[in-house]
Amino acid sequence: MQRRNLLKLGAALPLALSLPARLMARVMSPFARVRPGDPYWPTPAQWDELRSAVGGNLLKPQAVFAPCVAGVAGATIATEPCEEVLKNLRNPFYLGDQPGGTQVSGWLDAWTPAPSAYAVKARNTQDVAAAVRFARTHNLRVVVKGAAHSYLGTSNAPDSLLIWTRALDEIRLHEAFVGAGCAGKVAPTPAVSLGAGCMWIDAYTQVTTRAGRYVQGGGCADVGVAGLVQSGGFGSFSKGFGNAAAGLLEAEVVTADGQVRIVNACQDADLFWALKGGGGGTFGVVTRLTLRTHELPQFFGSAWGRIQAANDAAFRALIVRFVAFYAEQLANPHWGEQVAVKPDNTLELSLVQQGLSRDEALALWQPFFDWVKASPDYKVTDELGASAHKAQSWWEIQGNPSMIRDSRPGASPDHGYWQGDQDQVGAFIHGFDSVWLPASLLDKAAQPRLAEALYAASRHQKVQLHFNKGLAYAAPEAIKASLDTAMNPGVTEAFTLAIIADGERPSYPGEERPPMDLEAARRDARAIDAATAELRKVAPQAGSYLSESNFFNERWREDYFGPHYARLKEVKRRYDPEGLFIVHHGVGSEDWSADGFTRLK
């Protein structure tokens, strides 16, 4: 411990003698959060005080597989609660409904799911404020969770107090919204207010399916609205409408002092800006967001297919051809989602578009399809096609073969998720990385270098190009709005986010399954690092998207936030000077130990 810290502690001792017992933890342990068993861990009576303050909604979370394990031998119990876990293990809505649940079952050598010591299931903003004040008074480690969709495990911490916002799911549409304190300063605009516990399928159902408008959110329907917006957030159509954070008009947030603040461009503007991409669970607990809504395009659509090359040379040529095709025909506000470049010499198409009719989409793709079919070097292993349909029905669950409905008894008939996201549910991550590739690589002179880098990376691991997660070639107004967020501004100069990741089936603690092959998993992780290194050769200073990035990234401040980090750190000091809200690789986390319990400086 540094000498200056010892002096601070010594000066605090006389004061501590006169403080109520419930405040002693903050004075006697200013450099470490308290854990169960520590002398200043809250007493049962004090926990009862919190339970009373939140209307009885203080829970003791348990691990997902707790109902299936009994005794020291860990034998599986064939009980109804255990059967419910096993039946719903691949249902993201079920996992999100568990206070101890996470939608990722862990990350190799990084983090393992572990339930908090206690959880407040917040019914309203006052419950959140009570939980924040209790945590601050008793010097507790805090985590915040909505939908539990964090790859980096940021809503997961043992021995903590969880503030669980899942039940804050109110939705309200506005024809002409003006933020608090903004009357006469900003023009009214159509908007939607969403509780922090809402998922994007809730937002799309109300805004698009029922009201015929569009709100820019996430691509995965079961992701929480609050976490996505605070991380910047991308959806399938971000090339047309910008990142999700760019649409934020106002937020209700409980800060570390227990105050409830309504923040927007007219009041607490610095905190408002930080919430737009500065990272969730970092500056406070967001309880409600109001987002701009847009006129709905007439059509949403897609393009699909899978092409396998006969040999390496043919695959190189296929990548070269596709890169040129993308630069000429797809680098615009219409097209998003993914193309995968795979080690088995396969190019997989899974793109979406907004604003084009079926005939327009098919006419655009036909020359590329014809070129592929004309060559004996390529085999179409899954049909090639492009189409479009009425945008208002894009997120309808009933009769939609692309969506999986939450089939639990009593579940909302509006809750469903994309079939393509099924493999993510409960996955255990071996490795994960992402790189924003700059649009300069699409210049004709640079295209061969880009194509060769993609080919070289694919020799190690599959590379997914998420075109909607880079905003180069987006609509000008989308770029302008996205530049007014806390994200790394390099995102507006990138045409895609390259994601390289892999893992395996669920591996939750307590789950009865064959032992993991750790040697194979670590080989997989090394292959991901090798593939990423190939892309870094052509984009050495490229940033990375914080929600989909490497847990072990040592350059996280530069990669996530670029030149904005110093400003974000100042906002953090102003609104959370004691570091109550700490998450892995979040603003200010460098001042704390990896587990978030011990202050380092």
> Residues 469-487: pLDDT tens digits?
999 999 999 999 999 999 9
For residue 10, pLDDT beyond 60 = no
* Residues found in the chain: 601
For residue 151, give every residue at least 6 positions away whose Cβ sits within 8 Å of its Cβ, in sequence order, or none: 104, 107, 429, 432, 547, 548, 551
Together in a domain, 327 and 232: no
What percentage of residues in the chain have a pLDDT greater than 90?
A: 92
Together in a domain, 18 and 101: yes
For residue 417, pLDDT beyond 70 = yes
Final residue of a structural domain among 295, 318, 353: 295
Together in a domain, 50 and 175: no
- Please name which of 327, 428, 434, 485 lies closest in space to residue 109, comparing C-alpha atoms: 428
For residues 513 and 203, the model is more confident at: 203
Per-residue confidence at 71, pLDDT binned at 50, 70, 90? very low
| Residue 62 within any structural domain of the chain | yes
Backbone phi and psi for residue 177, each to the nearest 5 degrees, phi listed first: -85, 135
| Residue 588 within any structural domain of the chain | no
Is-above-0.85 flag for pTM?
Answer: yes
Task: Look at the alpha carbons of 201, 207, 208, 214 in this order and tell me if their dihedral is positive or negative.
Answer: negative
Final residue of a structural domain among 295, 312, 330: 295
For residue 11, pLDDT beyond 60 = no
For residue 552, give every residue at least 6 positions away whose Cβ sits within 8 Å of its Cβ, in sequence order, or none: 110
Structurally, the chain folds into a number of domains equal to 3
Together in a domain, 132 and 26: yes
| Residue 235 within any structural domain of the chain | yes
- Averaged pLDDT, 392-419: 95
C-beta of residue 473 within 8 angstroms of C-beta of residue 332: yes
Q: What are the tens digits of pLDDT across the range 297-352?
A: 999 999 999 999 999 999 999 999 999 999 999 999 999 999 999 999 999 999 99
Q: What are the tens digits of pLDDT across the range 550-586?
A: 999 999 999 999 999 999 999 999 999 999 999 999 9
Per-residue confidence at 76, pLDDT binned at 50, 70, 90? low
Return the pLDDT at 30: 57
| Residue 589 within any structural domain of the chain | no
**Structure tokens belonging to residue 257:** 């002092």
Together in a domain, 238 and 329: no
Return the pLDDT at 6: 38
The CATH number that applies at residue 187 is 3.30.465.10
Place of tokens 């206070």: 99
| Residue 199 within any structural domain of the chain | yes
Together in a domain, 137 and 246: no
**Structure tokens belonging to residue 352:** 């979406």
The CATH number that applies at residue 134 is 3.30.43.10
| Residue 516 within any structural domain of the chain | no
Together in a domain, 163 and 177: no
| Range name among 19-28, 34-43, 553-562 with the lowest pLDDT average | 19-28
Q: What are the tens digits of pLDDT across the range 422-450?
A: 999 999 999 999 999 999 999 999 999 99
Helix/strand/coil percent split, the chain, to 5 = 35, 25, 40
Together in a domain, 244 and 347: no
Together in a domain, 148 and 188: no
The CATH number that applies at residue 358 is 3.30.70
Together in a domain, 159 and 180: no
For residue 402, give every residue at least 6 positions away whose Cβ sits within 8 Å of its Cβ, in sequence order, or none: 418, 419, 420
Return the pLDDT at 25: 57
Per-residue confidence at 70, pLDDT binned at 50, 70, 90? low
C-beta of residue 33 within 8 angstroms of C-beta of residue 116: no
| Structural domain boundaries enclosing 202 | 171-295
Per-residue confidence at 24, pLDDT binned at 50, 70, 90? low
- Cα–Cα distance between 431 and 410 in angstroms, integer? 37
| Residue 392 within any structural domain of the chain | yes
Q: What are the tens digits of pLDDT across the range 141-171?
A: 999 999 999 999 999 999 999 999 999 999 9
Final residue of a structural domain among 111, 135, 167: 167
Return the pLDDT at 3: 36
Together in a domain, 190 and 256: yes
Backbone phi and psi for residue 568, each to the nearest 5 degrees, phi listed first: -65, -40
Q: What are the tens digits of pLDDT across the range 518-532?
A: 999 999 999 999 999
Return the pLDDT at 31: 77
Together in a domain, 155 and 12: yes
